Structure 1
């Protein structure tokens, strides 16, 4: 196994997580300060989701034309430019376009990076090494809000830190090999429907986690502010959710190498359901802090297990296309989640965010109780 390449690809993807973690909450705080409501902030949070859908459609074609490593480098530099323009052009309509661009560009990085990692790892280590990727990415997002808390939200430092990270990251990929090959073809929604029919549990889990992540970085800080917490406490709560995601991914990955993944999926879905329902009840107590940990760990576990199953089933172009479908589902979840939570928070209930996650988790539990949740392929034990 090419360990140096694995860690180089891992580090380049982690730079994206840190850049997003330090810049995206700053966008929401700025919009809140400008007087925009929850729905407007939710619309802003959903714009990268449209970009995700566009990026997923062209991923295989561009990877075949330019090569995986070259395309990743170009996308990282383009992401740096887009985040820099957020600082230079503080306008709601302009930011909508820039968030769309960021969605397209960084989707390509995630599709290619996750495909590259899954192609590299040995089967007997797949659960642990994919979980290490998930855990490390979560930690990079954790560091983002913490770093933003240090830098402050009154200036544009968070944006410029993100720019610096994405400028430096491409140099880590110079001379690296072992990337999956790809064919020059588009990934259509018809293909996506076939993927969802074949692996419905993975499709639902990825969409749910995408909604979770989009809302955690954009709407959760606002949710906490409106529950009466200070900006520092709100950022600490966001970070605590990500800590839960990060800390338990490695144990989940190790268990995935030994136990039924269906059982682990069901366990994560049930914990996510219970923790989501408990948030409005415990938000004003000290119990909210360990509850944030469980909330993040259970949601992150669903995504880690999804990547493990994808990696064991596919190789090369099929692997890139499968990850493109994951990105499409991610885009759908990122689009629907913030819009629904933003609208619900403004017009229905201030606790719409956790209640929406509870509804999604409940649907996944029902799906997992049925035959064929993981398709016709025999499930690993």
Structure 2
């Protein structure tokens, strides 16, 4: 196995997480200081998710033309340029376009990076090494706001720090080998439907985790405030969920190399269902803290195991296209999840967020119990 290449690709992808974690909160803070309301800020926040769908459709075709390492370098530099222009062109309409471009080009980096890592790793270590990728990326995103707090939000240092990271990251990929080869074809929504019909349990899990991550970052603080907690405690609860997601992926990955991955997947779905249902009951007790950890770990485990199960099936172009479908499902989950949970919280129940996650986990438990739920090996 090419360990140097693995860690180079891992570092390149982690630079994206840190760059986004540093620069993207600064966008919202800057818009708020300009007097924009919640809806305008929400529209801005949704633009990268739309860019995800565009990037996913183009990844395979562009990788066939430029090669996987070459396209990753170009997209990292494109992301650096886009983030730098956020500092140079402080305009709401321009920022909408730049956020769309950032979502598009960095989605391609994720698709190719995840494919490259899954192609490189040996089967005996797949669980641990894919989990290391997922855990490290979550921690890099968590570290971003901390770095921004150190740099300060009054100036543009956050933008320049993010751009600088993405300028340097491509240098790590020079001379690296073992990347998947691709064919020049687009990945359409029709292809996504085919993927979902062939592997519905994995497709459901990816969309559910995308919705989970979007809701945790945007709606969980509001949920905690509505339940009577102060701002500091609400943010601490969010951090506990994220830390549970990040730190427990490595043990889950290690278990994935030692036991049935299908059984472990079903177990994570069941833990997510139970923990989601228990949140309203234990919210104002000390037991909520270990419950937040299990809540985050089980949701993150579903995504990590989905990547592992995809990686054990596919190679080269099929692997890149499968990860493009992961990105498409991610974009859809990030768009739909917060909208449904927000509407439910306003018009149905104050506990709509955990109940929505419970409903999603229940559907996943049922799908995982189907005969041969994980056995289809072809995508369009």
Q: Same fold (TM over 0.5)?
A: yes
- When residues 203 and 146 of structure 1 are mapped into structure 2, their CA distance, relative to the original with a 3 A threshold, is same
Counterpart position of 1:367: 367
CA contact (8 A) 1:56 1:325 kept: yes
Q: Which has the higher contact order (CA 8 A, sep 6+)?
A: 1
Q: Is the 8 A contact 1:58 1:187 kept in 2?
A: yes
Deviation per CA, 1:284-321: give whole Å up to 9, x if none: 55444333222211111001101111111111111111
Aligned twin of 2:146 = 146
| Greater displacement, 165-174 / 44-53 | 44-53
Pair 1:76–1:216, CA change in 2 (3 A): farther
Structure 1 counterpart of 2:207: 207
Aligned to 1:160: 160
Change (3 A) 1:318 1:84: same
Decide whether the 8 Å contact of 1:269 with 1:361 is kept in 2: yes
- Classify 1:160/1:284 alpha carbon distance in 2 versus 1 (closer, same or farther; 3 Å): farther
Q: TM-score, with normalisation over the residues of structure 2?
A: 0.89
Question: In the superposition, relative to structure 1, how do residues 96 and 288 fare at CA in structure 2: closer, same or farther (>3 Å)?
Answer: farther
Give unpaired runs (5+ residues) of structure 1. Answer: none
Partner of 1:182: 182
Is the Cα–Cα contact under 8 Å of residues 46 and 339 in structure 1 kept in the other structure? no
Q: Deviations 1:204-234 (Å, cap 9, x if unpaired)?
A: 0011111122233344445555656666555
User: Which residue does 1:239 correspond to in 2?
Assistant: 239
Q: Aligned pair 1:15/2:15, yes or no?
A: yes
Q: Within 5 A, what are the aligned runs for 1:253-268?
A: 253-268=253-268
- How big is the shift at 1:183? 0.8
Cα displacement string for residues 110-145 of structure 1 (whole angstroms, at most 9, x for unaligned residues): 110011011111111111111111111111122123
Distance 1:256 1:214, change over 3 A: same
Specify the alignment match of 1:314 in structure 2.
Answer: 314
Compared CA separation, residues 91 and 186, structure 1 to 2 (3 A): same
Distance in 2, matches of 1:296 and 1:346, equals 24
1:29·1:222 contact (CA, 8 Å) conserved in 2?
no
RMSD of aligned residue pairs (Cα, Å): 2.5
Query: How many Å apart are 1:11 and its aligned residue?
Result: 0.4
1:79-123 per-residue CA deviation (whole Å, 9 max, x = no partner) reads 122233334445544433332222111110011001101111111
If the length of structure 1 is used for normalisation, what is the TM-score?
0.89
Give the match for residue 334 of structure 2.
334
Residues 354, 2 of structure 1: alpha-carbon distance in 2 compared, 3 angstrom cutoff: same
